[in-house]
Structure 1
Amino acid sequence: MDLGIAGKAALVCASTSGLGAATAQALAAEGSRVVFAGRRSELARELAGRYPGCVGLAADLSTVAGAQALHDAAVRAVGPLDIVVLNSPPPPPGTAVDLDPPALTESLASLLLAPTALVGAALPHLRQQRWGRILAIGSSSVQAPIPGLAASNTGRAALAGYLKTLAGEVAADGITVNLLLPGRIATDRMRSLDETVARASGRPTAEVAAESLRLIPAGRLGDPAEFGAVAAFLCGEPAAYVTGTAVRCDGGLIPTL
């Protein structure tokens, strides 16, 4: 299937590893001019160097100023953006009981304020050209909060509310706004979470991982490339009538439609 995004300028946030990297690579494989962005600037440039027309940039996605600076740098590198993929560094695990205002403020800056600032910077061009794709890499916690990830659950749900509202406001401009919600995908983040649970419970990490695997009807972890392929489709021309929705890529993990 031709996704119709060859030559499109795309920015993928936090794309030096994990789901961000998988998404950026999938878009680059379709011929998009992708900006790989993350704190590890050398890795961003190394990944981008594998694809023609792509660039790697350093980025601080934890603040509004950092998001705005990334947008401006991306435009200088590849031109006005056609595709914006939001992806935020996750806050540390923790309970709702222990979540204090400073920690919540910090997580909301990364998960909500910086992404909305980035979207706001990109929107004028998208509306003017009457074509655009805004996609957020979220979490299944948007639909089923994950125990022990209180800050993440709160911030991601808030961003989902903003994006759903935005989708209705810009649909007539030819701009789609969607969320892609991963379940358990084989990334360093997932391994880290298993290790955190193992330490807290005093059990081997392998036991914790096996226990969580039994909850997935597909019987396995997802491959990051599978997630990236779904993300690329949602950014493509064939998905022009898909907007304002949350799509799960979770192997059937969440037990609701």
Structure 2
Amino acid sequence: MDLGLRGKRVLVTASTKGIGYAVAKKMLSEGAKVFITSRSEENVRRALESLEEIGEVYGIPADLTVREDRERIVKSAREALGGIDIFVFNTGGPPPKAFLDTTLEEWEHSYKLLLESAVHLTKMILPEMLDRGWGRIVYITSVAIKMPIEGLVLSNSIRLGIAGLMKTIAREVSGKEVTVNAVLPGYTLTDRMKEVLESRAKREGKTFEEVVEEISESIPLRRLAMPEEVANVVAFLASEAASYVNGAFVPVDGGLIPTVF
């Protein structure tokens, strides 16, 4: 199926590992031009070396919690790509912690990482899409906005802001051929998820393998997702094929979320 992404200009944040990297790779394989970011200069270099074998890709190191870095991301992406047609917002996650173990500093940092950065980047990118009369915004968030995950109070709380942001913008830009959606990954085999599961294993006095098995048993598909499976859904939402999908929360969780809505 041709997704109509050839030649589209795509910005994917936090995209040198895990789901973000898988999204960048998928977009390139569909013929899009891609701009990637990461806090680590070394990670950007390695990702570029790998992705350049697939298509036209650029990238810079930048910290999403820093305003000046966010501005530099958008400026650099526009210069490299000639504009931004598709914005895929992805971030790393805050540390896995229970509420009483968190500090105010961790709350402030998590807000900047998960919500402030989404707001700021969207405000810089959305007007260009509206002027052009076409655009796609996809926020990669988490099933935690529908089903809080034990030990992830920072993520459970602040990611809910993305839900309200997405729904509001999707209605505000109606009639402009710009769609705004969110993808909700469940348990996905990334370095971040391994960290979360290792923390849970330590807390519960279990092995990593035992925790993975327990979680797999709670998922109807009886396994964790691969990053590429999330990337496929992101690419669809960013495509011409999803032209009538707007304001949607799309779980990619193997059936984990038990609620109807």
| Residue in 1 that maps onto 2:45 | 42
Residue 63 (structure 1) shift: 2.4
String of CA shifts for 1:88-123, please: whole Å, max 9, x gaps.
121101122333332211100010111111111111
Displacement of 1:191 in angstroms is: 1.4
- Contact kept in structure 2, 1:44 and 1:57, CA below 8 Å: no
Q: Alpha-carbon deviation of 1:202?
A: 1.6
Partner in structure 1 of residue 204 of structure 2:
201
Residue aligned with 2:115, SS: helix
2:45 matches 1:52: no
**Hey, what's the Cα distance between the residues in 2 that align with 1:189 and 1:103?**
17
Please say which of residues 150-159 and 42-51 is displaced more in the overlay.
42-51
Match of 1:177 among 172, 175, 180: 180
Aligned pairs for 1:3-18 (under 5 A) are: 3-18=3-18
* 1:86 equivalenced with 2:89 (yes/no): yes
The letter of the residue matching 1:72 is: K
Q: What SS does structure 2 have at the residue aligned with 1:177?
A: strand
Question: Which residue number corresponds to residue 131 of structure 1?
Answer: 134
Hey, what does 2:22 align to over in structure 1?
22
Residues in 1 aligned to 2:51 and 2:172: alpha-carbon distance in whole angstroms: 33
- Residue 58 of structure 1 and its aligned partner are, at CA, apart by 1.5
1:113-140 Cα shifts (integer Å, max 9, x gaps): 1111111111121000110000011100
After TM superposition, the structure 1 = structure 2 runs for residues 105-254 of structure 1, keeping only pairs within 5 Å, are: 105-254=108-257
Instruction: Count the aligned residue pairs.
Output: 257
Percent identity of paired positions between Structure 1 and Structure 2: 39
- Larger deviation, residues 41-50 vs 84-93: 41-50
RMSD of aligned Cα (Å):
1.2
Question: Gapped runs of 5+ residues in structure 1?
Answer: none
Does the 8 Å contact 2:19/2:227 carry over to 1? Answer: yes
CA contact (8 A) 1:112 1:159 kept: yes
Mapped partners of 2:177, 2:248: distance in 1: 15
1:97 equivalent among 91, 97, 100: 100
The two structures have a TM-score, normalised by structure 2, of: 0.95
Amino acid paired to 2:256: L
The one-letter amino acid of 2:232's match is A
Q: Quick one: which amino acid aligns to residue 66 of structure 1? A: D
Contact 1:33–1:53 (Cα < 8 Å) also in 2: yes
Looking at structure 2, the residues matched to 116 and 50 of structure 1 have their Cα atoms a distance apart, in angstroms, of 33
* Amino acid in the other structure paired with 2:219: I
* Contact 1:63-1:113 at 8 Å conserved across structures: no
Distance 1:158 1:138 in 2: 10
Distance in 2 (CA, whole Å) between partners of 1:222 and 1:123 is 31
CA drift of 1:56 comes to: 2.5
Structure 2 SS opposite 1:24: helix
On the 8 A contact 2:35/2:59 being kept in 1, the answer is yes
